[in-house]
Amino acid sequence: MIPIDRSIALLALGQTLIWAALFYSFPALLLHWEADLAWSKSELTAAVTLALLISAGCSPFTGRVIDKGFGPELMALSALLGGLCLLALSKVSLLWQFYVIWAIIGATQAGCLYEPCFALVTRSRGSQAKRGIIWITLIAGFASTISFPTLHYLSTATGWRTSVVIFALVVIVVVTPVLWLGAKSMENARIAPKGSSSVRTETNTSFLRLPVFWCIALGFGFLAVVHGATIQHLLPILDDKGLSAETAVLAASFIGPMQVLGRLIMMFMEKYTSHHGVSLVCFLGIGASMVLLRFSEHSQWFVPGFVFLFASAYGTTSILRPIIARDLLGEKNFGAKSGALALPYLFGAAVAPYLASIVWRLDGYDLVLSFLVGISLVALGLYYLAHRLSFSTKG
């Protein structure tokens, strides 16, 4: 049993609630907004694309802030501003207001979601960071399980505006102090990095010249396209496949538990295989899940199969991504490396919702899902190349 300490427990709780509020709230409310605000799907998804693009642009800056030791302040203030933005979102009536609010939320995401959290844990604990990251992702994996059904039933009963206010108050009153306490405790207990010869010695941005960096960055970036398009359009896709609103929300709610299951399977299998082997299985699993979703109208078992493969595989990669980056690139200046790696990853996640809307307008969601199968294969190839390049360099 992997022990959990106070700082990790606080960060895990904070990450669970902040992901439910600032990330999963968009796909959970997309159909409600489409019905109530009379804006098109492409107009709505352009807002989350804008948010994630801004998040990607802010990511290198937040990495440097963490390297300077200001991670606790960054995470707490970002959460507080995100909660205030949700309050403003409950009053929105014009499309430009919707865009401005989500643009600011995007900046706050760069300061309080997984990327800065994992960078903080890795900076603090070095080679021992994996255990803390596993615990955080195991618990925070239930964020979608909180967000999708809670927002659906609150919005049905009281309207989406009231449900957003409730989530905003949770972020302001609960999440902000929880993230501050957890991050401050983590930063205070920081282990200084050792000057081991096994750690690469490049400084500043010299790691950007490494081919392995770009293969990792682009491979996970394309994976983010698949995940972003699928998550943000999940309820409309399931509606297109003929599922009722309640069944679609139930399926979406299982994304979280299946992410946790995937991470538990990884913990069990790490005794028998390498991080590389698990990563290959995850990339293949995500591609297979897109195939199942594409043809889900032909069998009632394809949607559960999709949920299991998609969520468990992607949930595992959220643990492996920073670990693989540290293994291949070294832990020196890891905050900057994490921020740089997050840039193409978040860019992929950002363009995915709007890109999927454009492809949907051409020939529906079947074309979108076929496109995502192809993107999954490209991501797999890039990741495999990164591993081969690293192996050749070390050899």
CATH code at position 321 = 1.20.1250.20
200 in a domain, yes or no?
no
Angle at 77 between CA 72 and CA 81, to 5 degrees: 155
C-alpha–C-alpha distance, residues 79 and 179, integer Å: 8
Q: How far is CA 251 from the centre of its chain?
A: 19
Question: Mean per-residue pLDDT for 332-353?
Answer: 80
Residue 161 makes CB contacts below 8 A (sequence gap 6+) with 90, 91
What's the pLDDT score for residue 3?
A: 58
Residue with tokens 């920073």: 322
186 in a domain, yes or no?
yes
191 pLDDT exceeds 90? no
Counted domains in the chain: 1
218 in a domain, yes or no?
yes
Q: How far is CA 288 from the centre of its chain?
A: 20
C-alpha–C-alpha distance, residues 145 and 254, integer Å: 6
What's the pLDDT score for residue 194?
A: 55
346 in a domain, yes or no?
yes
Distances, alpha carbon 360 to alpha carbons 221, 298, 352, 365, 370, in Å: 21, 20, 12, 5, 11
202 in a domain, yes or no?
no
Question: Mean per-residue pLDDT for 55-68?
Answer: 86
295 in a domain, yes or no?
yes
330 pLDDT exceeds 80? no
Out of 2-6, 167-171, 356-360, pick the least confident.
2-6
pLDDT averaged over every residue in the chain: 88
Considering only CA atoms, which of 140, 148, 151 is closest in space to residue 175?
140
pTM summary value: 0.83
Question: Mean per-residue pLDDT for 150-167?
Answer: 96
State the first-to-last Cα distance of the chain, in angstroms, to the nearest integer: 35
Q: Of residues 202 and 224, which shows the higher confidence score?
A: 224
Q: Of residues 3 and 26, which shows the higher confidence score?
A: 26
Highest-confidence segment of 26-30, 59-63, 256-260: 26-30
* Residue span of the structural domain in which 152 resides: 6-191+207-394
Out of 122-131, 170-179, 345-354, pick the least confident.
122-131
Long-range contacts of 191-197 (CB under 8 A, 24+ apart): 191/124, 191/125, 191/126, 191/128, 193/126, 193/331, 193/332, 194/126
199 in a domain, yes or no?
no
On whether the CB atoms of residues 228 and 371 are closer than 8 A, the answer is no
Out of 59-63, 312-316, 389-393, pick the least confident.
389-393
Q: What are the structure tokens assigned to 121, written together?
A: 């844990």
81 in a domain, yes or no?
yes
